[in-house]
Structure 1
Amino acid sequence: MATIRKLRGRWQAQVRRKGMKPRCKSFDTKQEADKWARDLETQVDRFGAAPDTKILESTTLGELMDRYKIEVSPTKRGAEQEIQRIEVLRRHELAYRTMIGLSQQDIASFRDERLKVVAPSTTVRELAILSHIIEVAIRDWGLPLAKNVVKMIRRPVIRNERTRRLDGNEEQRLLDACDAGKIPFFKTLLIVAIETGMRRGEILGMRWDDISHNRRVVTLTMTKNGSGRQVPLSQRAFDALMAWKARADVDQQRVFPMTAGSLEQVWRRLLLRADIIGLRFHDLRHEGVSRLFERGLNVIEVSSISGHKELRMLKRYAHLDAADLVGRLG
């Protein structure tokens, strides 16, 4: 059992356990002393001995972020986005906390601060990165932490379901606005997005070799959920692709030579020219999947095209038009 006492204006914690030398440390507050003693006792119970906490006292969370960014992030498919998120986290005061002093309260305060400036989904992703950094440090790098404090706090609730679909003549306005833009293939890109319901990354990653002309199918070797799939092309999508291919640079292997950041910039300018409000590029996936249902395809057929593995997730995209359903019911 730990002993906590006030000595010369500071709080001293002392832990005595059989088979180990007594450990003692002074703190400014009793709360800090209690936490240190509890953590040390937990570690003794877990490891059978008192670990060397000097490394925890000298290692900051920011240093773990830097090592993770170099050793772990590059092995992931979403390496670029994760490294960008870590750079944001690195600028937060949390990065300067030593691992011996990092507490649940610190993580909870970070969560609450971020929720004031970013969406809950962004905060959840940042917490997930922090949690994995600490988990890797414990499991692979041998950091003598008794617990992962990020796992002990409540995560924000994400409510990002959207029902936005193309309304009235919005599709035609978007396509017409492409003619005034400087990206020659953007109209084709929009048609493919609407007709197939493919994700942004899947569309931008398409190569001409992925398209089977005689079968009218696009083969995606790797997707967001970690597996490949084949996406059938409607006649409209296929014709648009072939028209663009006839004009494209023959040495360019990618169908749409554009980055995700560039696409977002072009999309924002396009919405201004088309005078459309509240439409995101990802909403075209909603539109495409919903149209597949409205064409009479069943859940299995739609999921094989869209790449959804869970019916729960697929239902979020399938916002069917009620008037159309009434007509089909008779």
Structure 2
Amino acid sequence: MATITKVRDKWLCQVRKKGYPSRSKTFSSRADAVAWGRSIEADIARGTFVASAEAEATTVAEILDRYLLEISATKRSGTSDTGRAKTLKGHVGAYKLTALSSSILATYRNDRLKVRAPQTVVHELNLLNRALRIATSEWGIVLPGGIPRIVKPRKPEGRDRRVSQTEIDALISGTGSPELASVISLAVETAMRRSEILSLRKERIDRLRHTAFLPKTKTDKPRTVPLSSRALVIVERAWGTSEGDTGPLFAVKPGSTTQAFVRAVRRERKRHEKQCKSKSVPPDGAYMVDLVFHDLRHEATSRLFERGLGIMEVAAITGHKTLDMLKRYTHLRAEDLAKKLG
């Protein structure tokens, strides 16, 4: 079956067998050509032969580009894949699919962990894994050795940052932006994500039934968020600052909101330090420290439980898919639990 031919200074091995696609490969030595031919023949004899010509001609970068075009573009969270794919292509994009190995991915993982958090590296590896799965299951690309597997970095424990009411009040009163103040207040009252709050449209808010409909969410499942009386007051205030009964409730963009929030946190921290200095007392080491916008969702979720709502009720409000996901966002105060125990 295997035919070895010398072509100039190389050795060409060709394997042909009826019922199987022909295979050929060039080597610098005759011994390597013979060994390769025998391995292909052995695979055919065992019935484990697979045609991997396309995999040998396709790079990791090409698979990622196709995944971004055909798969990521159809997902709401697809924009996040673009940056991750760029990083992957910069490190392993030049490898042919048949050359990509577990050891190469392990090196990538270890190098990335030196400069990025474990969760970031997990997201990158998951993207590559999804692209390879689609390539093998739907695009007809065969990987003789299967999809390379490695131990993924261990995810960090969920954040346990509780945002005090003092911090919330300081941010609302000190931001200088009425819209940001309303967004912060609504986040604490409803547990909605930043993107969900900023996507609110007037025509999807039912002020009589106290509900807000979210047709697009991070989980790609629409949901209706109940609005408490306090949340409705915030909505009414924001409603009054814009014209008409249709259109966005807020005019700000997600990126601008995050930047404004970060500036407000820093400003309030400096103000706190200045006040403490004037009183000759040490500043609170936790006040306005390690605080991000998403912590407001954590705080709101915990408060829902503390108000006596059950797991299913809270999940219906927050949109969490599983109990494990919900637990990562819920941090109940021990003293509050002690009061319930009596």
Bin of the TM-score, shorter chain as denominator length: 0.7 to 0.9
One-letter amino acid matched to 1:101: A
1: distance between equivalents of 2:26 and 2:49? Answer: 17
Distance 1:203 1:48, change over 3 A: same
- The Cα of 1:43 is off from its aligned counterpart by 7.3
Pairing 1:192–2:191 present? no
One-letter amino acid matched to 1:114: R
2: distance between equivalents of 1:289 and 1:277? Answer: 20
1: distance between equivalents of 2:260 and 2:15? Answer: 65
One-letter amino acid matched to 1:70: L
- The Cα of 1:321 is off from its aligned counterpart by 1.8
Asked if the contact 1:204/1:260 (under 8 Å) is kept, the reply is yes
Pairing 1:106–2:104 present? yes
- The Cα of 1:50 is off from its aligned counterpart by 4.9
What residue ranges of structure 1 are gaps of 5+ in the alignment?
Answer: 3-9
1:94-122 CA distance string (max 9 Å, x none):
11112232211111111111111111111
- C-alpha RMSD over aligned residues: 3.3
1: distance between equivalents of 2:79 and 2:28? Answer: 41
- The Cα of 1:165 is off from its aligned counterpart by 0.8
Asked if the contact 1:217/1:233 (under 8 Å) is kept, the reply is yes
Residue 89 of structure 1: aligned partner = 88
Residue 241 of structure 1: aligned partner = 235
Distance 1:319 1:261, change over 3 A: same
Distance 1:103 1:246, change over 3 A: same
Asked if the contact 1:16/1:22 (under 8 Å) is kept, the reply is yes
- The Cα of 1:251 is off from its aligned counterpart by 7.9
Pairing 1:51–2:47 present? no
1: distance between equivalents of 2:330 and 2:254? Answer: 25
One-letter amino acid matched to 2:76: R
Distance 1:256 1:274, change over 3 A: same
- The Cα of 1:52 is off from its aligned counterpart by 5.4
SS at match of 1:149: coil
Residue 277 of structure 1: aligned partner = 289
Distance 1:234 1:117, change over 3 A: same
2: distance between equivalents of 1:284 and 1:267? Answer: 11
Distance 1:156 1:174, change over 3 A: same
Q: Percent identity?
A: 36
- The Cα of 1:174 is off from its aligned counterpart by 0.9
2: distance between equivalents of 1:301 and 1:252? Answer: 29
Runs of 4+ in 1 over 4 A off after TM superposition: 12-25, 36-50
Count of aligned pairs between the two proteins:
313
Residue 7 of structure 1: aligned partner = none
* Residue range with higher mean Cα deviation, 118-127 or 61-70: 61-70
Asked if the contact 2:215/2:222 (under 8 Å) is kept, the reply is yes
What residue ranges of structure 2 are gaps of 5+ in the alignment?
Answer: 3-9, 270-287
2: distance between equivalents of 1:58 and 1:254? Answer: 49
SS at match of 2:164: coil
Residue 321 of structure 1: aligned partner = 333
- The Cα of 1:223 is off from its aligned counterpart by 2.3
Distance 1:27 1:122, change over 3 A: farther
- Higher gyration radius (CA): 2
